[in-house]
Amino acid sequence: MLRLAMGALCIASIYLTVAIGSAEARWKHPRIVHNLLCIHRYEGSWTDPYAPYWGGLQMDLSFMRTYGPRAYRRWGTADHWPWRVQVRAGVKAVLSRGYSPWPNTRLRCGV
């Protein structure tokens, strides 16, 4: 029970940080951010370095170049990006093509 509460608190803390934390992260899409954080729970760690999918949302090279080109040029693959930047790229992808990049984990999150 305590572990569940701590996990929920951690997710809530991340969600609030992303949703209202910095000027850069004041997105108009808090529901998408919430859904992406759920998807992340079933994907890799934010620093997952294993090809062909990198980072906490398991981005491939095409995804990174399309939805995070500046981050890709600056830091390389998504495992080197700050987690907020990874989520921002995920939001751009969802707005463009829905949750199709995560066909299995999106179902676990009900999206």
Angle in degrees, 0-180, between the axes of helices 83-97 and 30-42, rounded to the nearest 10: 110
pLDDT digits (tens, 9 = 90+) for 70-91: 999 999 999 999 999 999 999 9
Alpha-carbon dihedral angle through residues 45, 46, 48, 49, given to the nearest 10 degrees: -170
Contact present, 81 and 15 (Cβ < 8 Å): no
> Among residues 42, 57, 52, which one has the least CA distance to residue 89?
57
Mean pLDDT of each 10-residue bin along the chain, 111 residues long: 48 48 61 96 95 96 98 98 97 97 96 94
Model pTM score: 0.77
What architecture does CATH give domain 28-108? Orthogonal Bundle (1.10)
For tokens 């495992």, the residue is: 79
